Amino acid sequence: MIPLKEAIAERHSIAEKMPFNQKMFRGELTPAEYASYLQSQLEIFSTIEAHFQLPHSGFERSNLIQEDLDELGIEPKRTQAGKRYLDYLQRLSQEDANAHIYLNYLALLFGGQMMKTKVPGSGKMYVFEGVPELIASVRQIQKDSWAGQANMGLDFVIEIFRELDSLFNQP
């Protein structure tokens, strides 16, 4: 079986190269664009946290994302791709959801550390305590067999980025 990180590398690369994500990485998102991104993140993390057991309570992000949104004080736009992802997540077993926990929480834990200084607001959702312990809690349950679910999650993330880009770049 192909190692998980390797099995999701192609879609992960596509997600990283999406124009909306690249704009965020360069620190070019407007507060309105970032608020809409935060809204999609809030919906994903709230759904996961309401329906599934996290490997460590230090991963909980919903309240921090809400604080980031409140700080911006902007009414966000919602994505249909995000809604489809939520609907999908709610139908999963804990085992299948673990792949999405791996994908979404480690993305904030690792990639988010590069983003937190480049986004409007204070970026509270990117601040973690006890990082080695958090990583270890995921690694203890991590399975290469999560690749299909993790790639499905990346497909949803790519669609969310695509939709956010189109919402703010209307001709």
pLDDT for 113 beyond 90: no
Q: What percent of the chain has pLDDT over 70?
A: 99
CB 58 within 8 A of CB 109: no
- DSSP string of 93-138, one letter each residue: -HHHHHHHHHHHHHHHHTTHHHHTTTSSS--GGG--SSHHHHHHHH
Q: Tell me the residue type at 29.
A: L
- The answer to which of 6-15, 47-56, 109-118, 135-144 has the lowest mean pLDDT is 109-118
Neighbours of 46 (CB within 10 A): 16
Q: Kindly report the CATH number assigned to the domain that includes residue 11.
A: 1.20.910.10
What is the band of 171 on the pLDDT scale with cuts at 50, 70, 90?
A: low
d(CA 61, CA 66): 9
The arithmetic mean of pLDDT across residues 125-144, rounded, is: 96
Percent of the chain with pLDDT over 90: 94
The answer to which of 13-17, 31-35, 112-116, 158-162 has the lowest mean pLDDT is 112-116
> Residue for token digits 């407007």?
30
Count structural domains, the chain: 1
> Which burial class, exposed, middle or buried, applies to 94 when counting CB atoms under 10 A from its CB (0-12, 13-18, 19+)?
exposed
Domain limits for position 123? 4-168
Token duo for residue 104: 């979404």
Tell me the pTM. Answer: 0.96
